[in-house]
Structure 1
Amino acid sequence: MSQRLADMRRDYAREGLTESQAPQEPFALFHQWFEEAVKTEQVPVEANAMTLATVDADGRPHCRVLLLKGVDAQGFTFFSNYESAKGQQLVVRPFAAMTFFWPTLERQVRIEGRVTKVSPEESDAYFQVRPLGSRLGAWASPQSRVIADRAELEGLLKATEQRFSQTQPDCPDHWGGYRLIPDRIEFWQGRSSRLHDRLNYRLLDTQWIRERLAP
C-alpha cells in the first residue's frame, strides 16, 4: 500500500490564477468559484461541502465535513447542534478553519476566522425550510454523545415522531447556525509540476490585503 500511495499523483494543468483575474477583496472571487463548482462538479460531490476544523480546550484539532448554507459580506454560515463536540469546542475556542476542495476544477479555498452564533431568528428561518426528517433528527439525536446502538437512535426518532405527530417541530434551543467571520481566505489553483497558484487575502483592520504565496 505504501508504494501505491507514493505512486499516486496527478498533474494539474486545467488553468491558472493570476492577480489580474482576482479582485481586491475575496468574496467576489469566492462567489465566482462557487458558482463554477456548482456547474462543474459531478454528483455525488456537493459543491458546498467543506471540511471544518476546530480546536478543543486541550489544543487538539478536530475536523469533519459539513455543508455551507450561506455566504455574504458578513461571513460563511453553517448549522449544527450547539451541544455537539464541535459546539463545545467553539465555546472554549471560538475560531475555526474551513476548506473547500473542487477536484474537477483543480481548486481549493481555505478560510479562517472567528466564529459566532447567528441570531435565533436566522436559525429558525433555516430550520423551517429543512426537510421534515432533518428537523425531527435535530430533536432526536444527542449529537456526539455515546449511545448503545442503532436501535437506541431509532427509538429516539420514533419517540420524537410521536411527540410531533400533531404539530410541526420548531427549532430546538440546542440547534442553530454559526457564522465564520473570515480574516484570511486563500484561493489555490492547481498547476503543473506542483507550482500551484496561491492567492491569499488577509484582513488588516478593515482592508483586505492580497498577496501571492509560494506553493
Structure 2
Amino acid sequence: MTKTTTVATIFGPVRVQHLERASPELAMVRYQVAARVYAVEGNQVAGMLAISPAYDDQEWGDINLGAEKIRALIPTRFSVFFGRGGSSRPLPDGTPVRHSPILTIDGAEVQAPGLTLARGGDTTDFPVTIRTGDWTSKPASALVAASTHEVIWAVLTVHEADTDRVSDADRAYARYRTPDRRASTERDLRAALRLRDQIQERINRLEAYLTTTRS
C-alpha cells in the first residue's frame, strides 16, 4: 500500500493516496492510458480522481492558408478526470458499467468534463458542476467549486512531487499517442502539399502572362 500524504488547504487537511492499478477500489473505474488515480479524504471530501498527461497543442490561423495545428512533442499539461458523465446503470444483461473516478464534495458528486491544467500553474480557474442525474448536471455552488479547486490543487501537488511517476506517465502516454498523432500530421501534410501545388500553378500562370506580355 502506498503512503498517504496530507496537504493543507483552506478548507482543512486533505489526505491523498496514490492507488495502484490492481487496487480493489479501481475494479469498476474506467482507466485512461497512463493515468494515475488518487484517493482523497478530508473535510466533506471523499472519493478519487485520475491524472494523466496531456499535450499543449496550438492552433495557428492564416486568412489565406487556413488553420494549422502545431503539435507539441512532449506532454506539458495534465488532464484531470472525475465525475460520471452518463448513465451508470448496468447493461441489459446485468453487466456493471465502468465509470470515471467519483469525487464528492459536501455530499455532491462533482464534475469538470474535459479539464486540462498547466503544470505548476493555476488550478482554480475552471467551472465545476454537480451531477443531478444520468445525463444532467448543474453549476456547483461557489463553496463546492472552491473546495473542488483546493482538492485538485492538493492532488496535483502530490502528483508533481513524484517526478519519476510523472516521467513514466509521460513516456507511456507519448508511446500510446504517437501513432494517431503521426497519422493526423500526415493527413495535414498531404493537404499542405496539395495547397503548395495549387499555389505553384497560380505562380506559373502569373509568370507566364508576364513573360508573354513583356515587351
Normalising to structure 2: TM-score of the pair? Answer: 0.23
Normalising to structure 1: TM-score of the pair? Answer: 0.23
Structure with more strand by fraction: 1
